[in-house]
């Protein structure tokens, strides 16, 4: 059993995170103050500064908390790495975003001068590159495109779709959008559009 103090710390941080998210969605990050956050969370300023340096630190803390929460995904990631690209890690991200939609909206909108979004993207990129690299090593294949480029492209694509999905009534479930992204990753954009490689935009420009 964890000490009561640990539970109190978790409750305090959760209250501060919730207060920040609510205030940002109502007023925007730049317009809010630490005083407003502590008032909404019903904690003292001294308590706030015992946990965070400023509101920017609190926002980055929210991103890292999401990453820690997604560590529960590790069994699915290991399974995906062992069996090929199943889409399970991506599906988990969309399901998690559905459960924590206000938090994801704050991050994906680039609040806080985009620092939280950059942190979020980098965390995903690092995980993606590690997964791609491990799979290539397991199969003893040589990547046709440098894996840092592959991981950045994949991350950008994921974040773009995720942003659209949490901000809009797309009509797609987490499972459906994951299936589309999985097929896009496995078969490629040209296949996804129904075109043949020779019909793809720019194909003539690339011809020898």
CATH code of 23's domain: 1.10.10.60
**197 in any annotated domain:** no
Angle between helices 101-108 and 115-139 in degrees, nearest 10: 100
> Does one domain contain both 147 and 176?
yes
Number of domains in the chain: 2
Range of the domain at 27: 4-52
Does residue 3 or residue 68 have the better pLDDT?
68
Per-residue pLDDT at 82 exceeds 50:
no
pTM, two decimal places: 0.82
**33 in any annotated domain:** yes
**149 in any annotated domain:** yes
Query: What pLDDT is recorded for position 207?
Result: 46
Q: What is the pLDDT of residues 11-46, one digit of tens each?
A: 999 999 999 999 999 999 999 999 999 999 999 999
Query: What pLDDT is recorded for position 31?
Result: 95
> Does one domain contain both 48 and 82?
no
> Does one domain contain both 113 and 181?
yes
Please name the residue ranges forming H helices in the chain.
4-27, 34-41, 45-51, 55-69, 74-83, 88-99, 101-108, 115-139, 147-167, 174-187, 189-193, 203-206
> Does one domain contain both 40 and 119?
no
Query: What pLDDT is recorded for position 200?
Result: 63
Query: What pLDDT is recorded for position 2?
Result: 41
**198 in any annotated domain:** no
Average pLDDT over residues 142-151: 96
Per-residue pLDDT at 88 exceeds 70:
yes
Q: Which band of pLDDT confidence, cut at 50, 70 and 90, is reported for residue 93?
A: confident
Which contacts of 52-58 are long-range, i.e. CB under 8 A and separated by 24 or more positions?
A: 52/16, 55/20, 55/29, 55/112, 56/112, 56/115, 58/16, 58/17, 58/20
Q: Which residue has the tokens 């979020």?
A: 120
Query: What pLDDT is recorded for position 203?
Result: 53
Average pLDDT over residues 100-112: 93
Query: What pLDDT is recorded for position 4?
Result: 44
143: tokens are 């990547």
> Does one domain contain both 45 and 140?
no
């Amino acid at each position: 059993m964890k000490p009561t103090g640990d539970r109190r710390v978790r409750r305090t941080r959760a209250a501060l995170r919730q207060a920040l998210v609510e205030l940002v969605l109502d007023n925007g990050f730049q317009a809010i103050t630490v005083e407003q956050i502590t008032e909404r969370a019903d904690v003292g300023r001294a308590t706030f500064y015992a946990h965070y340096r400023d509101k920017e630190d609190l926002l980055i803390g929210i991103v890292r908390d999401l990453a820690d929460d997604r560590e529960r995904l590790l069994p699915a990631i290991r399974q995906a790495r062992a069996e090929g690209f199943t889409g399970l890690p991506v599906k988990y991200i969309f399901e998690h975003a559905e459960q924590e939609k206000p938090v994801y909206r704050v991050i994906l909108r680039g609040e806080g001068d985009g620092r939280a979004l950059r942190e979020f993207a980098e965390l995903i990129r690092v995980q993606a590159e590690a997964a791609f690299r491990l799979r290539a090593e397991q199969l003893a294949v040589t990547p046709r495109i440098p894996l840092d480029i592959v991981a950045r492209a994949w991350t950008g694509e994921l974040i773009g779709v995720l942003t659209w999905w949490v901000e809009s009534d797309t009509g797609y479930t987490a499972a459906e959008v994951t299936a589309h992204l999985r097929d896009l990753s496995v078969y490629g954009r040209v296949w996804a559009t129904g075109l043949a490689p020779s019909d793809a935009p720019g194909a003539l420009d690339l011809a020898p």
